């Protein structure tokens, strides 16, 4: 596996997090609110700082925090190629709950 600079890791993490957001049915504003609540507030980071991740990439130090809260393997989020998304997802965590909620909503909309 090739060595990656931290800015490249940050950008890969953002791309993969955007993919997770799409799965969960989240937009950027909602994601900033949730990231602020789950990570920003406990670490005393501002909402503006969290919002800047979407322009600059997710700081490498927060990849682990996101992986812990969302139940996603940090290696996958950081771009390790030996993991695929399906194997990186843990059944507990915010991601699994939100995808389940989104799937239930899609099913309910489809029945109308």
Which pLDDT belongs to residue 3? 60
Domain annotation covers residue 10: yes
Domain annotation covers residue 77: yes
Which pLDDT belongs to residue 54? 96
Q: Using 70 as the pLDDT threshold, list the residues of the chain that sit under it.
A: 1-4, 111-112
The total number of structural domains that make up the chain: 1
For the CA atoms of 32, 74, 80, 47, the dihedral, rounded to the nearest 10 degrees, stands at: 20
| Cα atoms in the Cβ-side hemisphere of radius 13 Å centred on 67 | 20
Segments forming the whole domain that contains residue 66: 6-111
Which pLDDT belongs to residue 82? 85
Q: Cα–Cα distance between 22 and 29 in angstroms, integer? A: 13
Tokens for 42?
A: 């406990």
Domain annotation covers residue 49: yes
Domain annotation covers residue 1: no
Q: Cα–Cα distance between 22 and 19 in angstroms, integer? A: 5
């Amino acid at each position: 596996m090739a060595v990656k600079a931290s800015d490249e890791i940050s950008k890969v993490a953002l791309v993969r997090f955007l993919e997770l957001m799409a799965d969960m049915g989240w937009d950027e504003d909602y994601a900033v609110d949730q990231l602020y609540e789950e990570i920003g507030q406990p670490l005393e980071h501002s909402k503006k700082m969290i919002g800047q991740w979407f322009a600059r990439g997710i700081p490498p130090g927060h990849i682990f925090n996101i992986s812990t809260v969302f139940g996603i393997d940090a290696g996958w989020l950081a771009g390790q190629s030996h993991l695929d998304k399906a194997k990186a997802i843990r059944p507990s965590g915010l991601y699994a709950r939100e995808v389940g909620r989104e799937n239930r909503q899609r099913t309910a909309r489809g029945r109308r």
